[in-house]
Structure 1
Amino acid sequence: MTRYAPFHLEIAACLWEAVLALRDRPAADPDALERALAIRRTFDRLGAETLRPIILSWTATIERAWQQLDDDCPFGLDWAYIGRWLAESVDWSSPHHPVLHSDAAGQDAAQAWVTSIGKEPSSGPTDIGGRGDHLALLARARSAIEYPENLANHARSELIAAIRGAEDHIERSPLPWPVQLHAAAIEHRYGTNIHAAIDEATLDAEIAAWCREWWKETGDERDPATLDDETVIAVYFDGHPSDGWAKDLLQVMPPLLHTSFASKSGETGRYCVLSTAHLTVQTAGLLDGWASWPPTERPIDIAASVYGWFIPTRSLDKERQAQLPADLLRLMAFGRSRGFQFLLLDCDGDRSDDLPVHDW
């Protein structure tokens, strides 16, 4: 377990507090106000959870800078010095990632991206954990190009290795990091329509466009083109009790994250194929019945296949959970914990050693 000296923890705490002060309580001068707005844009873009480890990674740099000061420096290692250091040393112009000025950080500018207090950067290739990590790597590369004379050889090697690792990661995976996807299913007398979009507003626009196409069936004499999407959707489905629709926010995971499970089951992707033998015969009978019910009356969204059922793995409220048998809830939790959004339960699907098997 890594241990940190109290002095390092004090620096880290002061750093975070000082950044918040520069953001929320700037001095009454143009430079300070402009800096506060830039810091706020960075918080808005990255969020505190992503930004916090970046700011804390400056701990070692500020410690070295403070140790180089003369003994008669009037500033103590507190708000006065750290606030002044932040104001002089950090470039907040890019909302994607703040970077240290070369004149303040020297050769440490390219090394400021340590992952936590007291830890040095890895010397080998590293995978991209998310979009924020990719933006951070781009910021590091930009800083190295802008100030090549301040980049130490070992820092250059580390950066090259990180870029090589990112290239390999993106080349091996069609999706380099998890992406949220808004999805909807519309069930009607002719079948099921599936819609997906990156944001909810675009998804609602697709659903509303479908409703406008069948608007005459509502009996509403208003022109749907003059109504907003939310109204169009509500009016259409209120007037069509036989039709149903449901929305969900999905987390689309990179295929590489499923490598260990995929080695056991060849049919993986955004869904997981499992044997119906993991269900009891009683639960199988319930699924058969629910699949024939109107969508609005089912305790869970379900679609029947030729040899089984297609079900979502998303979490349910306690009221819905109480309507489902324990073996079905166990399967849904199994798929959800492994990053799958749906399960295809098929009589020819693979059996998992981690789940009970029922012979019927």
Structure 2
Amino acid sequence: MISATSDFALETAACLWEAVLAMRDYRGVDADCIARGAAIQNAFGTLGTAAVRLLVIGWTPVVDAAWARIGSDYQFCFDWDFVPAWIIDNVDWSDPSAPRLAQDSASRQSFLIQIPMQLSAIVRTGDGLTSAQHLAGLLLQSIECVDQPAPDEAVAAAIPSFSLVRASAAITLNPIFEED
């Protein structure tokens, strides 16, 4: 069962992600917003969407703690005011390979480590190639993971691409759902 605390953490994570996407996609005339959007876009280009998403979600406990300190006195709303303001005040996007919380810039370094890996999975389905590709996509989504060694940093693993080949011997895997 999801508790009120985990419900709020999910809400915070969603608000963080929405705010980052809104900042990345900003199309106005404010120079600071344009520069921030370009820096965020550079991080997406360097790290990939999945890695940025996991990084952003990793900020959830820090944002929740900040809200717990001032939320009762904050005059505006959490999702569209506090969270974007928190990102603007606390996130350093200057290094597209390692966006980080600004308070950590003096004490921590971030590194992008690439580890080439190979995974083979055999999927047999009577529904053809489209179903097999969809199942392969679900497999890759389930492999992506996040480990949070500290509340304000995340180590992410993302799968940028995959290939699908025919196999001569396979196990049977029933699709979990039906395709539309």
TM-score normalised to structure 2 length: 0.59
Tell me how far 1:31 sits from its aligned partner: 1.1
Stretches of structure 1 that go unaligned for 5 or more consecutive residues are 103-108, 110-141, 147-158, 164-169, 171-175, 181-313, 322-328, 335-360
Q: For residues 98-151 of structure 1, give each alpha carbon's deviation from its aligned partner in whole angstroms, at most 9, with x where no partner exists.
A: 10011xxxxxx4xxxxxxxxxxxxxxxxxxxxxxxxxxxxxxxx75258xxxxx
2:178 maps to 1:178: no
RCO higher in 1 or 2 (8 Å CA, sep ≥ 6)? 2
Q: Which amino acid aligns with 2:14?
A: A
2:107 maps to 1:144: yes
Distance (whole Å) between structure 2 residues aligned to residue 85 and residue 26 of structure 1:
20
Counterpart mapping for 1:33-72 below 5 A: 33-69=34-70, 71-72=72-73
Stretches of structure 2 that go unaligned for 5 or more consecutive residues are 119-162, 172-180
Tell me how far 1:66 sits from its aligned partner: 1.2
Asked if 1 retains the 8 angstrom alpha-carbon contact of 2:91 and 2:99, the reply is yes
Q: Which runs of 4+ in 1 moved over 6 A?
A: 1-4
Asked if 2 retains the 8 angstrom alpha-carbon contact of 1:99 and 1:143, the reply is no
Q: For residues 296-335 of structure 1, give each alpha carbon's deviation from its aligned partner in whole angstroms, at most 9, with x where no partner exists.
A: xxxxxxxxxxxxxxxxxx8545xxx7xxxxxxx12xx69x
Q: Which amino acid aligns with 1:43?
A: F
More strand by share: 1
Asked if 2 retains the 8 angstrom alpha-carbon contact of 1:23 and 1:36, the reply is yes
Q: For residues 251-309 of structure 1, give each alpha carbon's deviation from its aligned partner in whole angstroms, at most 9, with x where no partner exists.
A: xxxxxxxxxxxxxxxxxxxxxxxxxxxxxxxxxxxxxxxxxxxxxxxxxxxxxxxxxxx
State which structure, 1 or 2, has the greater radius of gyration over its C-alpha atoms: 1
Q: Which amino acid aligns with 2:115?
A: W
TM-score normalised to structure 1 length: 0.31
Identity %: 36
1:78 corresponds to = 79
The size of the alignment, in residue pairs, is 125
What is the aligned-residue RMSD (CA, Å)?
A: 3.3
Distance (whole Å) between structure 2 residues aligned to residue 315 and residue 67 of structure 1:
47
Asked if 1 retains the 8 angstrom alpha-carbon contact of 2:26 and 2:33, the reply is no
Distance (whole Å) between structure 2 residues aligned to residue 14 and residue 145 of structure 1:
26
Q: Which amino acid aligns with 2:86?
A: W
Tell me how far 1:76 sits from its aligned partner: 2.0
